[in-house]
Amino acid sequence: MRLFSEFYFANRENLDGALLDVDGTLSANGAPLPGAAELLVQFEKDRFPYLLLTNDTCHSHEEKRRILANGGIHVPMSRIFSAGDVLRYWAGKNYHGELFFQCGVLGNPGYGEAAGIQLTTDVKRIPECKGVLMGEGIYAWQENLEGIFNLFMAHPEYPFVVCNPDSYWPSVSGTGMGVGAGGQARFICGLLKEMGISVEPVYLGKPYAPVYQQAFQVFAEQYPERPAVRAERVIMLGDSLASDIRGGNVNGLLSCLVLTGITSRKLAEDAEEIRRPKEIFDRI
């Protein structure tokens, strides 16, 4: 059995940090996976830079910290980094104070407010909006998606921001799979394309570059005593080929797969190069 923790002990001098996926990597079904809690304690003890990197933008840091603690994973709130956090870097000065339509939920307190964007979830106000933030959670799909569709028909130049690019995820309303924020955004863009209108969403979370760039900036803020991280010496540890491993590979990180989540060894070994992990571990 190959353990990630042993790999860490053998190589920590040559590593600059680690970005860790949560579901299927640190915990599963509300319980910590073997070795996960101990690894985080070791990282803290070593002052080894790490962040829990999640595409979950439905929950604020406080909510996420509570969910993780209930599942036996105890981390300081500052070690949680969500795709929603990237909004504040993206919005910067360009969109500060602008009115955006928020589709669904983006944490409570929200990532949009933290980014200084003015938000409405009132579909009647969509025509006044200067862009759209795709959120998560349960909301009235028809009126929201149609409102967004109409806004981009009139203004294809407006930003369509998708923090969580996931196509699907476990359904929030019951059993089975649900359609993710990325899936919903691409559905709307597909309809627009049929009308000859090109709208390309701004993706912020894994596997896209912005979340990695900003995570490196957070490393610099949280570990000022360490030299700037070099991407190739930063581990991206996760269980998903499409998000964690692809994201790690495309952005030049050391992609590491754990087999405790959604991916089998065969699937990983047979994957096309961009989705093939550099290292495979049975568990943490």
Query: Could you say whether residue 182 binds Mg ion (CB under 5 A)?
Result: no
Query: Could you say whether residue 24 binds Mg ion (CB under 5 A)?
Result: yes
Between CA 19 and CA 255 the distance in angstroms is 10
Query: Could you say whether residue 207 binds Mg ion (CB under 5 A)?
Result: no
Query: Could you say whether residue 21 binds Mg ion (CB under 5 A)?
Result: yes
Residue of the chain from 16, 23, 56, 85 that contacts Mg ion (CB under 5 A): 23
CB of 55 to Mg ion, least distance (A): 9
Q: How far from 17 is each of 9, 44, 244, 253, 271, CA to CA, in Å?
A: 13, 12, 15, 10, 26
Nearer residue to Mg ion within complex by CB, 53 or 87: 53
Residue of the chain from 239, 241, 246, 249 that contacts Mg ion (CB under 5 A): 239
- Measuring CA to CA, which residue among 121, 90, 125 is closest to residue 106? 121
Nearer residue to Mg ion within complex by CB, 127 or 170: 170
- Measuring CA to CA, which residue among 209, 231, 206, 205 is closest to residue 49? 231
Nearer residue to Mg ion within complex by CB, 24 or 110: 24
Between CA 151 and CA 117 the distance in angstroms is 18
Contacts of 263 (CB under 8 A, 6+ apart): 239, 240, 241, 257
Nearer residue to Mg ion within complex by CB, 83 or 91: 83
How many residues make contact with Mg ion (CB under 5 A)?
Answer: 5
**Paired tokens of 279:** 């290292």
| Residue ranges binding Mg ion (CB under 5 A) | 21, 23-24, 239-240
